[in-house]
């Protein structure tokens, strides 16, 4: 069961198709395009909200205070890493990138 912070409508809603939504979605691949500690450190707080939820198949994390160190540790462990985003699904103010 999802907690209250991950339920539809709980997230900060962006206007669908609006410039702010597009800018927010465009920041995601920039974070992962150069998956180094310096890039992750510089960009993660502009991608993840303070109360964000991250579930990646290995971990489920809630909040930027949990996500940020996990992302840094993940970047440190990689010599080279490539991410491909094939699809974005938006529903009720939540965004799923696959």
pLDDT at 41: 94
CB 90 within 8 A of CB 16: yes
pLDDT at 91: 84
pTM: 0.73
pLDDT at 40: 94
Which letter does DSSP use for residue 5 in this model?
G
Tell me the mean pLDDT per 10 residues along the chain, length 98.
Answer: 42 78 92 93 91 89 95 91 89 82
pLDDT at 93: 77
Q: Is 27 exposed, middle or buried (0-12, 13-18, 19+ CB in 10 A)?
A: middle
């Amino acid at each position: 069961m999802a907690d209250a912070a991950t339920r539809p409508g709980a997230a900060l809603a962006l206007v669908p198709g609006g410039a702010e939504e597009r800018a927010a979605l465009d920041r995601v691949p920039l974070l992962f395009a150069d998956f180094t500690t310096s890039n992750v450190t510089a960009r993660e707080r502009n991608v993840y909200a303070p109360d964000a939820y991250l579930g990646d198949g290995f971990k489920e994390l809630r909040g930027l205070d949990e996500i940020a160190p996990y992302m840094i540790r993940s970047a440190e462990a990689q010599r080279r890493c490539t991410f491909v985003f094939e699809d974005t699904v938006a529903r009720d103010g939540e965004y799923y990138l696959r």
